[in-house]
């Protein structure tokens, strides 16, 4: 009986060590998952990738420089209360529309680029374009 008790104690001790190891592994995997999520979001395209470069802003939007782009965004911002954001900034909404017009990029690709759904990109394009036409 004493021997069975000692055996069970050893098994329990082994199980506790395994639990500790598994908890450590879960923590490592959780930390890795957080880093992967951050890196995924960091790769998303947007205005932040071209901010500070009038040359890039001009290439992607067709506007002469970054100041003009920001002026267009400010015009859009006054009417943007009625425009659903689709989870992206006003700068990115305007950028998506101007990239579509300037570079003739397909909406499926733009949706992937800005990390939004295809239907969202389509609705966003139509709505933002309508607002920009009215404002300009």
pLDDT tens digits, 72-116? 999 888 876 656 666 788 999 999 999 999 999 999 999 999 989
Domain match, 126 and 82 both: yes
What pLDDT, on a 0 to 100 scale, did the predictor assign at position 6? Answer: 85
Domain match, 55 and 7 both: no
Domain match, 56 and 34 both: no
Range of the domain at 8: 1-43
Residues contacting residue 26 through CB under 8 Å, at least 6 positions apart = none
Domain match, 39 and 55 both: no
Q: Looking at residues 46-68, what average pLDDT do you find? A: 95
| Global confidence as pTM | 0.68
pLDDT tens digits for 100-112?
A: 999 999 999 999 9
Count up the domains in the chain and report the number.
Answer: 2
Domain match, 30 and 79 both: no
Domain match, 18 and 38 both: yes
Q: Looking at residues 4-32, what average pLDDT do you find? A: 89
Q: How far is CA 122 from CA 66, 71, 82, 105, in A?
A: 25, 24, 16, 12
pLDDT classification of 43: cutoffs 50, 70, 90? low
How many CA atoms, within 13 angstroms, populate the side-chain half-sphere of residue 105? 21
What pLDDT, on a 0 to 100 scale, did the predictor assign at position 135? Answer: 83
What pLDDT, on a 0 to 100 scale, did the predictor assign at position 18? Answer: 92
Domain match, 93 and 34 both: no
């Amino acid at each position: 009986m004493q021997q069975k008790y000692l055996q069970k104690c050893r098994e329990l001790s082994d199980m506790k060590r395994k639990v500790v190891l598994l908890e450590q592994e879960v923590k490592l995997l959780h930390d890795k998952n957080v880093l992967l999520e951050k890196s995924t979001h960091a790769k998303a395209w947007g205005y932040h990738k071209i901010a500070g470069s009038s040359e890039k802003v001009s290439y992607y939007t067709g506007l002469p420089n970054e100041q003009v782009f920001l002026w267009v965004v400010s015009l859009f911002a006054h009417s943007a209360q009625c425009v659903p954001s689709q989870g992206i900034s006003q700068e990115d909404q305007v950028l998506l529309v101007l990239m579509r017009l300037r570079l003739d990029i397909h909406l499926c690709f733009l949706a992937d680029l800005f990390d939004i759904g295809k239907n969202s990109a389509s609705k966003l394009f139509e709505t933002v374009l309508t607002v920009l036409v009215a404002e300009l």
